[in-house]
């Protein structure tokens, strides 16, 4: 997926998503508080950590991530998690893997990943990148309030799709949100960063709800749609993230996402199912 990371080249993201090999198929990872949301680490961040462990298990840079599905069973807490991986099948061009994430004996997440070499075949893209001005046309959002979760400061964003949810602002006609996004430390968008980005934006439904809620992820599927890192993307380049929700019912909602390179190349697609829960403000 990437060249070997040394201490001199590691970014904050690399440190936060690092895994340590315990034995042939087991890894440990320390949950970084900088990725905390309401009840624990962000789902996209945990997906990136799992993807790193699975890539280590595959051990073949020519077999790129093509699909990752994570089911979140319970929130991880501070400290280490253990990731037990397995090669379920290894064919001539594709390797299917699985992962089981635990913390202190408690099951946190289950995942399945597919890695493959490039395959020849017909190609087309009917999806169209949202037409918005470049990131230089937008001002950064003001610093988040002190009560905001740590992840609110983890991404460098320029809001370009929909409207940021603010107290007293009118409700949106559609649940859409997104804009230009990058890691502030300057880190190439490879599959790990793209995975984190698919759950890195404020949920679009926040602009539709009057009452404060949280939307913990039940499952997240990511499809990586091109070779990553994408040629021509510099470490400090923004990419465009677009998210939408069309149905909230029975206490659940879906969220579809797309990550685009500035040249219009679709980097990744995602879909997640999330629960809708009332927000309980922490007691100080």
52-79 mean pLDDT: 97
> Mean pLDDT in the chain?
92
What span, in angstroms and rounded, lies between the C-alpha atoms of 175 and 205?
5
**Residue 198 phi/psi, 5° resolution?**
-65, -10
22: left (phi over 0), alpha (psi -120 to 50) or beta: alpha
* pLDDT attached to residue 4: 40
What span, in angstroms and rounded, lies between the C-alpha atoms of 190 and 17?
13
12-117+147-278: CATH class? mainly beta
pLDDT at 6 over 50: no
Share of the chain above pLDDT 90, in %: 79
* pLDDT attached to residue 284: 43
Q: Is 12 helix (H, G, I), strand (E, B) or coil?
A: helix
Q: Which residues contact 54 (CB under 8 A, 6 or more apart)?
A: 65, 68, 85, 97, 99, 111, 113, 115
19-33 mean pLDDT: 97
* pLDDT attached to residue 3: 42
* pLDDT attached to residue 90: 95
């Amino acid at each position: 997926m990437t060249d070997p990371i040394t201490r001199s080249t590691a970014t904050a993201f690399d440190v936060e998503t690092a895994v340590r090999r315990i034995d042939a198929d087991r890894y440990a990872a320390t949950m970084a508080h900088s990725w905390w949301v309401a009840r624990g680490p962000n789902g996209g961040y945990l997906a990136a950590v799992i993807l790193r462990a699975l890539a280590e298990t595959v051990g073949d840079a020519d077999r790129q991530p093509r699909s990752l599905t994570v089911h979140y069973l319970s929130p991880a807490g501070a400290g280490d998690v253990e990731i037990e991986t397995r090669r379920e099948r290894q064919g001539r061009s594709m390797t299917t893997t699985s992962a089981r994430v635990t913390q202190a004996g408690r099951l946190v997440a289950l995942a399945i990943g597919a890695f493959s070499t490039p395959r020849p075949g017909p190609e087309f893209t009917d999806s169209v990148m949202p037409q918005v001005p470049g990131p230089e046309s937008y001002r950064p959002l003001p610093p988040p309030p002190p009560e905001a979760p740590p992840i609110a400061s983890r991404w460098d964003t320029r809001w370009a799709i929909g409207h940021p949810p603010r107290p007293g602002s009118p409700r949106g006609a559609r649940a859409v949100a997104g804009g230009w996004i990058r890691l502030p430390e300057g880190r190439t968008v490879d599959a790990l960063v793209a995975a984190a980005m698919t759950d890195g934006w404020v949920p679009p439904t926040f602009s539709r709800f009057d009452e404060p809620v949280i939307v913990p992820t039940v499952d997240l599927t990511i499809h990586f749609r091109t070779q990553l890192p994408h040629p021509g993307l510099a470490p400090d380049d923004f990419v465009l993230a677009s998210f939408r929700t069309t149905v909230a019912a029975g206490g659940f909602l879906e969220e579809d996402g797309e990550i685009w390179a500035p040249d219009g190349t679709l980097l990744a697609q995602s879909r997640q199912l999330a629960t809708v829960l009332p927000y309980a403000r922490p007691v100080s």
